[in-house]
């Protein structure tokens, strides 16, 4: 993956992600009372993924923890699939100079989170 941390407007990515997610899954909005702190956690997660993109072991461990955390919140496959769409849209908006190969790789990474739920991700959302 060629995308670097410096190419991403992280606050914009977080804002666009949650706007898109709530457009796709209206009832999720009620689960997020402190959206500001949630957006900060999204930024941290995205930075962590990008910083560990070349360290498979660290990335896999982090994705496992992220998947478990979301599973404990009661999210289901449909929520994660919609989140995947919102995630990819937010990346394209917040890092408009990245290539389609990077978007596809980020899609694969998000799919790993879905797999941590025990679900099989649907076809590529990118």
Answer yes or no: are the C-beta atoms of 40 and 33 closer than 8 Å: no
Q: What is the CA radius of gyration of the chain?
A: 13
Show the domains of the chain with their CATH numbers.
5-116 (1.10.490.10)
The pLDDT mean for the chain works out to 86
Work out the pLDDT band at 1, boundaries 50, 70, 90: low
Q: What angle do CA 68, 72, 78 make, to 5 degrees?
A: 85
DSSP class per residue in 34-73: -HHHHHHHHHHHHHHHHHTTT-HHHHHHHHHHHHHHHHHT
pTM confidence score: 0.85
pLDDT tens profile 98-126? 889 989 988 988 888 788 777 777 765 55
């Amino acid at each position: 993956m060629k995308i670097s941390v410096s190419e991403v407007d992280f606050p914009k990515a977080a804002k666009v992600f949650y706007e898109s997610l709530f457009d796709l899954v209206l009832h999720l909005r009620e689960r997020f009372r402190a959206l500001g702190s949630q957006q900060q956690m999204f930024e941290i997660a995205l930075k962590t993924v990008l910083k560990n993109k070349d360290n498979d072991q660290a990335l896999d461990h982090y994705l496992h923890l992220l998947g478990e955390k979301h599973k404990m919140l009661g999210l289901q496959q449909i929520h994660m699939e919609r989140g995947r769409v919102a995630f990819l849209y937010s990346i394209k908006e917040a890092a408009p100079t990245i290539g389609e190969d990077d978007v596809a790789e980020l899609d694969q990474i998000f799919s790993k989170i879905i797999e941590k739920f025990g679900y099989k991700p649907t076809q590529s959302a990118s």
